[in-house]
Structure 1
Amino acid sequence: MPVKLFAKTSGAGKPVILIHGLFGAGDNLAVVARALASYYCVHLLDLRNHGVSPHVDTMDYPSMAADVLAYMDDNGFEKAALLGHSMGGKVAMQLALDAPERVTGLIVADIAPVEYPAWHDNVFIGMFAVAEQTIHQRREADQILAKYVAESGVRQFLLRNLVRNTEGRYVWRVNLSAIHDSYQNIRIAPAGDMPYGGPVLFVKGEHSDYIDCTHQKQVLSLFPASQLKVIGGAGQWLHAAKPQLFNRVVSGFLHKN
């Protein structure tokens, strides 16, 4: 059953839906939304078990795609362009494969339609370690996370999910248990009976390993009209590392399609 997603909207014009990645929220793509809002009506979604959207046990790409489709139905627009980053890119791909007539164009930021290794095991261990403690200051959580996650930037991203509960202690806003239990569903590739023939742009960070030449066959089998752009000097967080260039690439694609 679809979940009613929380969203922020801005701008006016044809709808563009932005879909965040694992452990993220719509606000992660706020810079992109601001750049597009001059030309489009931009919808920043929080996926199920993320941000302030509802918590549920089930988490897989067909279900998450159905959530976005239900959001479109509830808001009365028949078609939309989709931009998804990382896990959100897989959600967007799944929606395009499930309901191609509803998608005018697809932008996939630094993810491919393939299964990935279990790269987040230490992240889960660290986040569960934080959850087991009584945390009153963010730096306490950071100190615990640092035992498992060396990269400060990754920790700061994860710590954006800490919120105070009614007792004044910090807790995770994401549904950590459900995400962990569904991690295999998140790692796998989106799938469809037929390819999506509409316009698709894959955008890769130069220094990211999430898209490489070994993925080309799978990409073209599902998205035969796709093209690839590489953002120089960027890693997986390409929209944050090179916002002006990323936004220019995205805007150019949307204007053409």
Structure 2
Amino acid sequence: MELGAIEQGEGPPLLLLHGLFGQARNFGALQRRLAAGGRYVLALDLANHGASPHAPAIDYRSMAADVAESLDARGVGRADVMGHSMGGKVAMMLALTHPERVGRLLVSDIAPTAYPARWDGLVAAMRAIPPGTARAEADARLATAEPDPGVRAFILTNRRPDGSGWRIGLEGIAASLPAIMGWEMPEGARFEGTSLFVSGERSNYIRAEDRPVIRSAFPAARFLTVKGAGHWVHADQPEGFAAVMEGFFPG
């Protein structure tokens, strides 16, 4: 599957991969800044997200294959890669299964491990919203499953502007939640390249006990914490995260 994309700049290629319910345009200001620093910056919409095709089911191997195909379509053989959350798992899978395609790897606030179910109730609430529901009513319905208004506002960016339904492949996401929250480590795979795992100070997605697992597959891994950030590091601390990106991915 060739994915929807936003491309900016010229220079060494740098790939940006968003998280669950995100899209390429979430990286707008960051992408422009990195492109201005002398990089060709490619932000992709992963399957069932943004402008990309919908699929009945997705997993990390299929999403990594989609990314490789999208790089091929643009004549990019090798790229530095940053992925956040679900996109971080896609980036890790790409590095482990296609190591020749990845230069430097930055994984933002996720580990190569399975996580407890987090989104099932919210996805059920999303599926239950009838087409044509006004935004305020849709938000109220989502509030029964997600108390954080910021998360709900983020989710609602995936509604069609006319309120006629969801732009994302919601049914495919719902069917794939166990795979998205899970992780199957490719047997014997290792990525020897330079890797940086970035955590938000207020997040617990990368725990101390995850570090040995990370180092077993990414032996060159380093770790960094962004102060004041939660799970959405690039949104919570945009200046700090951009500085980390610029330091790790020189132009």
TM-score interval w.r.t. the shorter chain?
A: over 0.9
Extract structure 1 runs of 4+ deviating beyond 4 A.
none
Is residue 116 from structure 1 mapped to residue 115 from structure 2 by the alignment? yes
- d(CA) in 1 for partners of 2:103, 2:92: 12
Matched AA of 2:134: Q
Q: Secondary structure at the match of 2:249?
A: helix
Counterpart among 148, 153, 169 of residue 151 in structure 1: 148
Q: Secondary structure at the match of 2:7?
A: strand
Matched AA of 1:186: I
| Identical amino acids, percent of aligned pairs | 43
State the Cα distance separating 1:93 from its structure 2 match: 0.3
Query: Which residue in the other structure is 1:186 paired with?
Result: 180
Cα deviation code 1:38-71 (max 9, x no counterpart): 1200011000111110011130101000000011
State the Cα distance separating 1:123 from its structure 2 match: 1.2
State the Cα distance separating 1:127 from its structure 2 match: 0.8
1:50-89 paired onto structure 2 within 5 Å: 50-89=49-88
Matched AA of 1:184: P
Cα deviation code 1:228-249 (max 9, x no counterpart): 1100011001111111110101
- d(CA) in 1 for partners of 2:102, 2:143: 41
TM-score (norm 1): 0.94
Counterpart among 178, 201, 206 of residue 201 in structure 2: 206
State the Cα distance separating 1:135 from its structure 2 match: 2.6
Counterpart among 144, 168, 175 of residue 174 in structure 1: 168
RMSD over aligned Cα atoms: 1.3
Q: Secondary structure at the match of 1:182?
A: helix
Q: Is the 8 A contact 2:135 2:163 kept in 1?
A: no
Is residue 239 from structure 1 mapped to residue 238 from structure 2 by the alignment? no
Matched AA of 2:189: M
- d(CA) in 2 for partners of 1:255, 1:242: 20
Query: Which residue in the other structure is 1:137 paired with?
Result: 134
Q: Secondary structure at the match of 1:37?
A: helix
Matched AA of 1:221: S
Query: Which residue in the other structure is 2:210 paired with?
Result: 215
How many residues end up aligned between the 2 structures?
Answer: 249
- d(CA) in 1 for partners of 2:133, 2:175: 27
Q: Is the 8 A contact 1:93 1:190 kept in 2?
A: no
Matched AA of 1:191: M
For structure 1, list consecutive stretches of 5 or more residues without a partner in the other structure: none
Q: Secondary structure at the match of 1:13?
A: coil
- d(CA) in 1 for partners of 2:55, 2:189: 29
For structure 2, list consecutive stretches of 5 or more residues without a partner in the other structure: none
Q: Secondary structure at the match of 1:83?
A: strand
Q: Secondary structure at the match of 2:128?
A: helix
Q: Secondary structure at the match of 1:163?
A: coil
Q: Secondary structure at the match of 2:178?
A: helix
Q: Is the 8 A contact 1:97 1:194 kept in 2?
A: yes
Cα deviation code 1:121-142 (max 9, x no counterpart): 2211221122xx2334211211
Q: Is the 8 A contact 2:117 2:181 kept in 1?
A: yes
Is residue 250 from structure 1 mapped to residue 245 from structure 2 by the alignment? yes
Counterpart among 4, 21, 24 of residue 22 in structure 2: 24
